[in-house]
Amino acid sequence: MHDRVEIKDLHLRTIIGINKDERRDLQDVLINLVLYADTRIPGLSDNVEDGLNYRSVVKGIIELVEGSRYYLVEKLCAEIANLCLEDPAVEGVKVAVEKPGALRFARSVGVTIERWRDGEELVAQ
């Protein structure tokens, strides 16, 4: 079983890219997350202490992204996934990071990765 907590359209700004202006100017990034966690206990107890604290996960992501200076979207995406997996309630994570306007004639360019705490691959649901 893989219950999900979804965080949609987290819009942040960071230094990311390889071009001179990208190393100087903040770039927009759009982040979407699926955090796989067991929600049965908090679903029964209605107690915030029993569940995944996704607010603290997002706070960590904001600090990571806004303080980063990566060259590649792939690296940023992987670091976000690693951060999410540091929370013991997160069994797995799917992270999508888009960089709007990165390519001419395209709305955005993005990378999506999936990681599991035990290293298993995500099986299509």
The pLDDT tens digits along the chain (125 residues) read: 589 999 999 999 999 999 999 999 999 999 999 999 999 999 999 998 889 999 999 999 999 999 999 999 999 999 999 999 999 999 999 999 999 988 889 999 999 999 998 765 544 33
Note the pTM of the prediction, 2 decimals.
0.90
Residue with tokens 């360019």: 109
Domains annotated for the chain, with CATH where assigned, are 4-116 (3.30.1130.10)
CA distance 100 to 9: 12
Q: Which two tokens stand for residue 98?
A: 């888009």
Q: Of 17, 14, 6, 16, whose CA–CA distance to 95 is shortest? A: 6
Q: Of 80, 67, 88, whose CA–CA distance to 115 is shortest? A: 80
